[in-house]
A and B are shown apart, each in its own frame.
Chain A
């Protein structure tokens, strides 16, 4: 079965960088795109970015452009999301999610989330 296992919760200081991993199993890693989304406490979901593990194509949310980078390592079937120059506004649960088999099937399978707290 499809599984996405995310790295553990983190506490960061303002100005620091964050890198979260998402290890995939149960399917051919390079075949499906992976998105990242986050959810601040008591708030809605915010899409952050997407990567095609096969070609390396990426897309990012406009408001995070320049501060976020998503990458993949096919040798370990792992996706990574790096977010730089953190502030308290980046405190959130971060999720990775795998797309389905076509353009229209988005974020079909989700990881359990990684809680990131940014505090001085």
Chain B
């Protein structure tokens, strides 16, 4: 069973930059895993942010960016705002199967 691992929690101050990562138990994450990122606020459905490693949806704020970093998928928030406090999930594709990471709780203090 493939496991996808994210930092359980991160804390950042407003205006700072933070990077969340997403690792696979099978080895390095590559573009072939088509990393996707989602944001979820309490009591709400998730919202898609990033697809295919780096691409933003039309509604994704410009301060969010995706990349590959050191064998992991990464989500970087530049100039964090208080409203970015949320849970963030990565999702990787393994053929037709999909696996979510455990999520990162981002706190903005």
Contacts and interface: CB of A to CB of B under 8 A. Distances in A.
A110 B45 contact: yes
A35 to B, nearest CB: 7
A62 B98 CA distance: 10
A112 B51 contact: no
B45 A63 contact: no
Contacts of B99: 47
Contact of B47 (A37, A100, A110): A110
Nearest to B45: A110
Interface in B69-109: 87, 89, 91, 93, 95-103
A103 B93 contact: yes
Contacts of B103: 44-45
A108 interface: yes
A113 B52 contact: no
Interface string A76-120: 000000000000000000010100101111111111110000000
Given A61-B97, A62-B1, A105-B55, 18 more contacts: A37-B100, A45-B91, A45-B100, A45-B103, A47-B98, A59-B95, A60-B97, A104-B51, A104-B53, A104-B93, A105-B36, A106-B51, A106-B91, A106-B98, A107-B46, A107-B98, A110-B45, A110-B47
B1 to A, nearest CB: 6
Q: What is the size category of the interface that chain A forms with chain B?
A: 20 to 34
Nearest to A52: B96
B105 to A, nearest CB: 10
Contact of A113 (B34, B45, B47, B87): B45
A57 B95 CA distance: 13
A105 B40 CA distance: 18
A103 B99 CA distance: 15
Given A50-B98, A59-B96, A59-B97, A104 B48 contact: no
Given A100-B51, A111-B45, A106 B34 contact: yes
